[in-house]
């Protein structure tokens, strides 16, 4: 299988290349992309010898070219258009969509439009543009396989043609598990003063900085509720969030007959990555076997709405429909960035998102241009709100 890895230098990208490197007979890397860590990308190019590498701008392209040998096989490209080009090359079969945030939407959509096997880690793409994205997947006959561990678990627990499964009946509820993040038990009055370093120190998963903050606010779970809505055609009131601090059960599907199917495993993203790379086959991912005796027990709690207001904001945006989820996503990206830069207190992340949702008028999102216009408007509104707060 020939593959493009978008966001190769990130947490998911590195795990993807780790799985790929275990199966050189099965996978061939055709293109890699990276944004900031050019040296890491150069190392990956030396190792995997892709035909193309994409970076953000001409300066980074020059640096990367300088780091590669004269006899390098890799053509270095740059910019958003090049990202879309390597996502729909005729010679590739699959695209790992692992760019973080809204920047990943255009190339992920390009891969779907080209009818590729799309391994979707970039949940923000689906949150912003769910209707447009799913319409393109169906029109082009793309194979959409979720990488997010919860959605991958749901996919594995819903045999058959999963898209539209909820609509056909038989499925009562989707139960999305959440670890509760680093602040599950922190006294609420201390949340005001938590630092970025505390917020990105996730108890179970090692991830990029943005998704780690999303896990601490539980906006990550909110984005995942919206993601599940689009992937599985599930209405908001049939997606329930369950806090499960051990992160061993990655999600569950509750059926009409009382059966509940779940997928379990160690919290290591190489499992869902290997699952989606090889589907419908199974391959070694390098993940250790699950040791239930060492784990001992599995616990479950109801999420606390007062502690995690972002979860409720996401449900509200999903129920509002139209552009609300795209506004939520853009405001969250800016607020998280401000928090990581030390410009915004942790609890003000939710306030900023709520205020942005109030300010940007509701609209329908019939196409990518409309999605990008909402994203632009919401970023402007959120930036004003942040500036007003002195953030
Ligand atoms: P990360 O920050 O570690 O990596 C992000 C990647 O995107 C990097 O390769 C970076 O160079 C690239 N990138 C960043 N900004 C870019 C831009 N403007 N243009 C082009 N490329 C850009 O993030 P991650 O943790 O690997 O997460 C990637 C995606 O996968 C996110 O959408 C996240 O929500 C999702 N995801 C991650 C995990 C995880 O365990 N890390 C789990 C589930 C879902
Ligand atoms: Mg997840």
Q: How confident is the model at residue 164, as a pLDDT?
A: 62
Whether the pLDDT of residue 105 is over 70: the answer is yes
Kindly report which listed range (80-89, 168-177, 364-373) carries the lowest average pLDDT score.
Answer: 168-177
| Ligand at shortest distance from the CA of 181 | 2
Whether the pLDDT of residue 174 is over 60: the answer is yes
Token pair recorded at residue 330: 């853009």
How large is the average pLDDT for residues 347-363? 97
Q: Which atom of ligand 1 is nearest to the CA of 13?
A: 26
- The verdict on the CB of residue 180 being under 6 Å from ligand 1 is no
Secondary structure (3-state) at 353:
helix
- The verdict on the CB of residue 51 being under 6 Å from ligand 1 is no
Q: Which atom of ligand 1 is nearest to the CA of 123?
A: 32
Q: How far is the CA of 262 from the centre of ligand 1 (A)?
A: 26
Local structure of residue 141 (DSSP, 8 states): T
- The verdict on the CB of residue 89 being under 6 Å from ligand 1 is no
Distance from C-alpha of 328 to C-alpha of 375, rounded to nearest angstrom: 9
- The verdict on the CB of residue 17 being under 6 Å from ligand 1 is no
Q: How far apart are the first and last CA of the chain?
A: 46
How large is the average pLDDT for residues 105-110? 98
CB atoms closer than 10 angstroms to residue 158: 20
- The verdict on the CB of residue 254 being under 6 Å from ligand 1 is no
Distance from C-alpha of 286 to C-alpha of 328, rounded to nearest angstrom: 36
Token pair recorded at residue 63: 């640096």
How large is the average pLDDT for residues 144-161? 92
Do 226 and 240 touch, CB atoms closer than 8 A?
A: no
Q: How far is the CA of 224 from the centre of ligand 2 (A)?
A: 7
Do 363 and 376 touch, CB atoms closer than 8 A?
A: no
Q: Does the domain formed by 2-146 have CATH 3.40.50.720?
A: yes
Pairing status of strand 171-178 against strand 249-255: antiparallel
H, E, C per residue of 225-286: HHHHHHHHCCCHHHEEEEECCCCCEEEEEEECCCCEEEEECCCCCHHHHHHHHHCCCCCCCC
Kindly report which listed range (51-60, 153-162, 254-263) carries the lowest average pLDDT score.
Answer: 153-162
Q: What is the mean pLDDT of the chain?
A: 96
Whether the pLDDT of residue 325 is over 70: the answer is yes
Domain ranges of the chain: 2-146, 154-268+283-295, 321-389
pLDDT tens-digit map of 34-50:
999 999 999 999 999 99
Q: How confident is the model at residue 165, as a pLDDT?
A: 65
Please check whether the two domains, 2-146 and 321-389, share a CATH topology: no
From 81, 121, 176, the mutation candidate for ligand 1 (largest count of ligand atoms within 8 A of CB) is 121
- The verdict on the CB of residue 148 being under 6 Å from ligand 1 is yes
Whether the pLDDT of residue 95 is over 90: the answer is yes
Q: Does the domain formed by 321-389 have CATH 1.10.1060.10?
A: no
Whether the pLDDT of residue 163 is over 90: the answer is no
Q: How far is the CA of 101 from the centre of ligand 1 (A)?
A: 7
């Amino acid at each position: 299988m020939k593959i493009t890895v978008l966001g190769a230098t990130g947490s998911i990208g590195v795990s993807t290349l780790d799985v790929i490197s275990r199966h050189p007979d099965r996978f061939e890397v055709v293109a890699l992309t990276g944004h900031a860590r050019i040296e890491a990308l150069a190392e990956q190019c030396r190792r995997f010898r892709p035909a193309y590498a994409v970076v953000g701008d001409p300066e980074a392209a020059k640096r990367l070219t300088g780091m590669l040998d004269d006899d390098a096989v890799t053509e270095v490209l740059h910019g958003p258009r090049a990202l879309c080009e390597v996502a729909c090359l005729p010679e590739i079969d699959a695209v790992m969509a692992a760019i973080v945030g809204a920047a990943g939407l255009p190339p992920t959509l390009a891969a779907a439009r080209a009818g590729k096997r799309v391994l979707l880690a970039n949940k923000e793409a689906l949150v912003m543009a769910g209707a447009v994205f799913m319409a393109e997947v169906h029109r082009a006959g793309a194979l959409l396989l979720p990488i997010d561990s919860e959605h991958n678990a749901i996919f594995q627990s819903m045999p058959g043609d999963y898209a539209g499964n909820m609509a056909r009946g038989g499925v009562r509820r989707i139960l999305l598990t959440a670890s509760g993040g680093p602040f599950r038990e922190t006294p609420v009055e201390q949340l005001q003063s938590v630092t970025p370093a505390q917020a990105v120190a996730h108890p179970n998963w090692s991830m990029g900085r943005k998704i780690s903050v999303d896990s601490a606010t539980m906006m990550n779970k909110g984005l995942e509720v919206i993601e599940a809505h689009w992937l599985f055609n599930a209405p908001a009131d049939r997606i329930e969030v369950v806090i499960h601090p051990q992160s061993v059960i990655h999600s569950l599907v509750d059926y009409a007959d009382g059966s509940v199917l779940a997928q379990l495993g160690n919290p290591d993203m190489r499992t869902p990555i290997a699952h989606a790379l090889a589907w419908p086959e199974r391959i070694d991912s390098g993940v250790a076997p699950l040791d239930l005796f060492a784990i001992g027990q599995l616990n479950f709690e109801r999420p606390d709405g007062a502690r995690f207001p972002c979860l409720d904001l996401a449900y509200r945006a999903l129920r509002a429909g139209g552009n609300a989820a795209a506004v939520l996503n853009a405001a969250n990206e800016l607020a998280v960035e401000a928090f990581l830069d030390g410009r915004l207190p942790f609890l003000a992340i939710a306030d900023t998102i709520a205020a942005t949702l109030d300010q940007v008028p509701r609209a329908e999102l019939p196409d990518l241009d409309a999605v990008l216009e909402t994203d632009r408007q919401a970023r402007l509104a959120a930036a004003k709100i942040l500036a007003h707060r002195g953030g």
